[in-house]
Structures are given as structure tokens and as C-alpha cells.
Amino acid sequence: MIDESVVSGTLSEALKTGGELAEVFVEDRRSSSALLDDGKVEELTSGRTRGAGIRVVVGETTGFAHTSDLSEAGLAKAARAAAAAARGGGGGHQIVALSRVDAPAPNEVEVLPETVAKATKVDLLGRADEAARGAGSAITQVSARYVDGRRRILVANSDGLLAGDDQVRTRFAVSCVAVGDTGMQTGFESVGRPIGFELFDEYEVDALARTAANRALTKLAAQPAPSGSMPVVIGPGGGGVLFHEACGHGLEADLVAKQASVFRNRVGEQVAHPEVTLIDDGTMAREWGAYAIDDEGRPAQRNVLIENGVLTDYMWDLLRARKEGRESSGNGRRQSYQHLPMVRMTNTYLANGTEDPADIIAATDRGVYVAHLGGGQVNTATGDFVFGMSEAYLIENGKIGAPIREGNLIGNGPEVLDGIEALGNDFAMGSPGTCGKDGQGVPVGDGTPTLRVASMTIGGTAA
């Protein structure tokens, strides 16, 4: 992507005014997407960005500059700008010797999307549209989106690190509108993996489209969501986002260090039901949040955060880890070369339990079954969270009953961990997600088995 001697020279330039650590992050990203809406292929879009972000660290201060000019002069200018922000130490001329260490990719990529004809990508959209509309005459609108991206990165720092990664991701999503006597309802389904066009050997877009359509159709018959506190059963793969938001963020070392986490000072303590094990795993083959190296050049890792209910460790990036005199856990990520890295999750999941999911539902007298949670938000300092339920049903007398309309689920992370009373043996990963911490979007995955939480607050309109 860029000559090694240029990278090394840029690092020397960055250290001239006394930086303790300098880093160059180079990124070249290409993307293509195609959108069908309202029965028409509205547009194909191609995108290209490339550039470098340079940071210089002195003490507690980080200077950062980025540029889309990857020439030696352009990089040197950015290096000086980053260094100016972090003035202080002795400085002088340092030669940085780099040694390249690449980490294994989590999985192979068979068919690079850029080698696939545009017409082939567009065909997928038409098939999805047809299948969704065929699911029922109440389906009045369909939109389908195909997106692929290839992100090549190179990271080097003044500790001598040099590493690269070639990250490919392919994603397909369908969203439908159904109209009935009760008004309009929507249904959504998506798949995405860090692989190429072979994604569609595995997933039929027709089936995906029918799932989205059926979600919208089901909701036409939905009743208003109940309101108040009650037991909640979450289906396999449908609720991982809850643990990402409500627990995962509180285990990020940057938030912990700033006292913005309810899990501060709790390593070694029992924070959840003894059957609960929470893992963040960036090495998980073919999962949306996987990569070979993080955006600081550190290989991805499998990190056990909560083991049998006991908090074992937080997640770390380079700077937080350096401060504590330990290694990064491979969780330093950034949206693009225009952003500073910070502690981020990868694929976060609650490990499998032992119970038969049917028994978990049968043992619930009255409550709500959530097949799919939508987006959510958490206050890491208090642990309070809110999630939309995009597909949910009432549970009455131990049976899944009528679908309910959209409503929010609110609760508190530590309380939910404590309140998990049953874990099924049917673990599944959920849909591909984007985590938006501090305004920076990065791809993440999540998963859970079926589980029951003793009590959460459902924010519906029914009494």
C-alpha cells in the first residue's frame, strides 16, 4: 500500500519534537452498493477513500492528524501536525526499525466482490423484491440493499510494529412494509459476513426476503405491547445486542478508567448468575465483527469477560493497556483513518446454557417472548438501557401467543445479569450490527442462546 521506508520516515518525523509513541495508520477502502426501492433499482454507488491517520503520544496527551495525501510530503506534513499537538520531551532524530508481523485471517475470502459483475449483484435485488411481494398481497413496499466493502489497512508504530490486514465484508438486507386494517407495519432481515460474494452460495436472498415480509405481515395482527415489569424470554440470537450494550460497553477499559462504568473495581466479583459466561471474540471465523488485526496492529483475540458469573477482565486498546503495563486485548478499533482508535467490541456473546428452550418458555406463566431486539442505547455509568423490540410475542400460560406491536424494553445491565434465571442450549449468533460508540461506526456481531430474565420493564401502551 505504501513503501516501508516512507512509513519509517514518517514515524521519525512524528517523533522529532519528543513524542514517546508514534503511529501511522494507512487505509484504502473501496465499497459498492446497490439499492432497489419501490420496484426499481434506484442506483448503484461506488465509493473510494484512502488516507492516513497519524498519532503522537506524550504522557497523557495524544496528538492526531489525518490526510488523504499519501505522498511522502503529505505524510510528513500530517506527522508534524500530530507532533505539534503533543510537544514536550527531548526530541531529536530517531530511526524506527520496523518488523512486519501479520496475524492469520479469521477466515478465507473466496470470491472478491470487486471481481463480480455489477449485473450479477443487481439480479439479487430483483429476486428479493419478487420473493417479498410474493409473500402476501398485503406487502406494499420492498426495499433491498446489497453492500460490499474491502478495507485494506497498514499499521506501524515506533515500537517497531508493522502489520496489515485486508478486510472484506458483504451484506444484504431487505425491508418490507405491509398494510392492513390496523395501519402500516414493517419487517426487516439482513445477513452479513466478513467474506466475499460466496455469501450468496449460503444464503438465498429469496428466503431472506420472505422472512422480512413475514415479519411485517405478522405484525399486522399484533396487539399493543403490555406495559410494566414482567419476565422476558429472549430467543436464540435475538438478544445479543442487549449484552453488547448493557454489559459489553461497561467492560471497555477506557470507560472503566474514567469511572463511567458500573463494572469499575469489580474484577473477581460475582456479577452475574453462575451459569453466565460472556465472551468477546474477534477471531470468530465468518462473524461480522472478526478481523486479523485491530486498527492498532494487534492480532484479534478471544477474551473471556465474565466466566461462570465472575468478572474476569475488561477489554483493552493500546493506550489504556500501556498505562496499566499490560498488553492490549486486540480491541483497539476506529471507523476510518480519520478517527482515533478506542476500545471497541468485536463479536460479543453469551455462551450456551444447558436447558431445553421449550422448557424455558413452558415455565414462564406470563411474560413477553422477544424473537428480535432492535437498536438500543445504554448509559454505561448507570447501566440503564433501552431497546426496541422488533419482533415480540406475549407468553401466556407457558405458551407463545399473540404478536405484539413495537415497544421498548428498559432495564439495568447489572440487574439483568443478576436476573438471568435460565439459559438454553440453542446458542445462535444474531444479525450483523454496527456499534456507534462516540459517533464512530464499526461492524460488530453478537449472540445468545434462549434465556429468561426474571423481570424487565416493557414500555407498551396497553395497561
Q: Residue 6: enclosing H or E segment and its boundaries?
A: helix 4-15
What the block records as the C-alpha cell of 108 is: 478465507
Looking at beta carbons only, is 154 or 361 nearer to another protein? 154
Q: Does 3 bind another protein (CB under 8 A)?
A: no
Stretch of residues binding another protein (CB under 8 A), selected from 98-106, 162-170, 307-315, 376-384: 376-384
Judged by CB under 8 A, which of 1, 111, 112, 260 binds another protein? Answer: 260
Any contact of residue 354 with another protein (CB under 8 A)?
no
How many of the chain's residues bind another protein (CB under 8 A)?
78
State which residue, 168 or 458, has the beta carbon closest to another protein.
458
CB of residue 221 vs another protein: minimum separation in angstroms? Answer: 13
Q: Does 46 bind another protein (CB under 8 A)?
A: yes
**Cα diameter, the chain:** 75
Residues 113-152 that bind another protein (CB under 8 A): 118-119, 122, 140-141, 143
Closest by CA position to 256, among listed 421, 125, 380: 380
Residues 81-110 that bind another protein (CB under 8 A): 81-82, 85-86
- Candidate list 112, 267, 386, 400; residue touching another protein; CB under 8 A: 386
Q: Report in angstroms the alpha-carbon separations of 115 from 31, 135, 197, 330.
A: 13, 33, 9, 31
Q: Which is nearer to another protein, 64 or 291 (CB)?
A: 64
In the complex with another protein, which residue's Cβ is closer, 267 or 386?
A: 386
Nearer to another protein, 186 or 312 (CB): 186
State which of positions 50-69 bind another protein (CB under 8 A): 50-51, 59-69
**Is 185 an interacting residue with respect to another protein (CB under 8 A)?**
yes
Nearest to another protein of 100, 118 (CB atom): 118
Closest contact distance (angstroms) between CB of 104 and another protein is: 30
Give the Cα separation of 227 and 457 in Å (integer): 7
401-460 positions binding another protein, by CB under 8 A? 405-408, 410-412, 457-460
Asked if residue 164 lies in contact with residue 152, where contact means CB atoms within 8 angstroms, the answer is: yes
Bridge-based pairing of strands 61-67 and 40-58 is antiparallel
Please state the closest distance from residue 443 (CB atom) to another protein, in A.
18
CB 456 within 8 A of CB 230: yes
CB closer to another protein, 19 vs 299:
19
Q: Closest distance between another protein and the C-beta of residue 39, in Å?
A: 8
Binding to another protein, residues 331-350 (CB under 8 A) = 338, 340
Q: Which amino acid is present at 131? A: A
Which amino acid belongs to residue 308? N
Residues 4-33 close enough to bind another protein by CB under 8 A: none
Residues in region 223-242 near another protein by CB under 8 A: 225, 227-229
3-state secondary structure of 14: helix
Residue 40 CB, shortest distance to another protein, in Å, is 4
- Of 117, 130, 113, 146, residue with least CA distance to 42: 146
Among residues 278, 427, 444, the alpha carbon closest in space to that of 350 is found at 278
Query: What is the Cα–Cα distance from 138 to 290, expressed in whole angstroms?
Result: 38
Alpha-helical segments (H) within 231-327: 240-243, 253-257, 318-324
The smaller minimum CB distance to another protein, of residues 46 and 137, is found at 46
Rounded CA separation 25/164 (Å): 10
- The region of 37-45, 96-104, 395-403, 424-432 touching another protein under the rule CB under 8 A is 37-45
Please give the Cα distance from 2 to 437 (Å, whole number): 30
**How far is residue 129's CA from residue 139's CA, in Å, rounded to a whole number?**
10
Which residue type sits at 452? R
User: Binding mask 264-303 vs another protein (x if CB under 8 A, - otherwise)?
Assistant: ----------------------------------------
Smallest distance from another protein to CB 55, Å: 8
Task: Cell numbers for 318, please give them.
Answer: 493500546
User: C-beta of 140: minimal distance to another protein in Å?
Assistant: 5
Closest distance to another protein from the beta carbon of 351 (Å): 26
Give exposure, 407-422, as e/b (b: 16+ Cβ within 10 Å): bbbebbbbbbbbbbbb
Residue nearer to another protein on the CB measure, 68 or 137:
68
What is the rounded CA–CA span in Å between residue 116 and residue 109?
13
CB 258 within 8 A of CB 392: no
Q: How far is the CB of 187 from another protein (least distance, A)?
A: 10
State yes or no: residue 73 binds another protein (CB under 8 A).
Answer: no
Q: Are 333 and 435 in contact (CB under 8 A)?
A: no
Minimum CB distance to another protein, residue 328 (Å): 18
